[in-house]
Chain A
């Protein structure tokens, strides 16, 4: 069964700091990869996704993620965070032979101090 690990459960940064959130998955086949964000009091929103092609994908609000197949990773990055990026971030994987279900990591709660 596929699984997704997000190693950092809580991250605290100051505004303008750079962000990298780790995501590793355990499936050797073809995968679709997603990052979702949940702002306080709001529902899950899609931040970015990777299906194929350029392994560096850009999403909304200046976020990007890089798919490194050899490392089974899909880390999320942002060069300079803002207070408004305070949220919980979830990595999710859909393995192409696992139907249409998404397998989520446990989430990383990011707090950006003004």
Chain B
């Protein structure tokens, strides 16, 4: 069991640029989640996939954010026209439908200059 992996671990970008993050869930986990965590806060839910279907989206997920899980395995989270307020740790988690316990990856820390 290799755990949830995320790439890159750190990303520094300039305001206005687009960024894309990748998450590889635990194999055979059909549910995948994205969260955002800012300093001193707990993670906040962004979106959720069951297989390739995006079933839930938070109001936090503005139209600059888009997430995909095209083949029901890995997922990507893209932020267009980044703003300084997007600076945060972006966490991915996965679970099975049976246990519904979410296991988290190491996160991607985004810094927008």
Contact = CB atoms under 8 A, between A and B. Distances in A.
Interface of A: 4, 6, 32, 34, 36, 42-46, 49, 90, 92, 94, 99-107
B100 A105 contact: no
Given A99-B55, A101-B56, A101-B58, A107 B42 contact: yes
B25 interface: no
Nearest to B92: A43
Nearest to A9: B40
B41 A106 contact: yes
Nearest to A103: B45
Main secondary structure, interface of B, reads: strand
B56 A46 contact: no
7 contacts: A46-B101, A46-B103, A92-B42, A94-B100, A99-B48, A104-B43, A106-B40
B105 A43 contact: yes
Given A4-B42, A100-B33, A100-B48, 16 more contacts: A6-B42, A36-B104, A44-B104, A46-B101, A46-B102, A90-B42, A92-B42, A99-B56, A100-B31, A100-B50, A100-B56, A100-B95, A101-B33, A104-B42, A104-B44, A106-B42
Contact of A49 (B50, B56, B101): B101
Contacts of B106: 42-43
Contacts, number: 55
Contacts of A105: 42
Contacts of B33: 100-102
Contact of A101 (B40, B45, B91, B101): B45
Contacts of B56: 99-101
Contacts of B91: 43-44
A104 B31 CA distance: 19
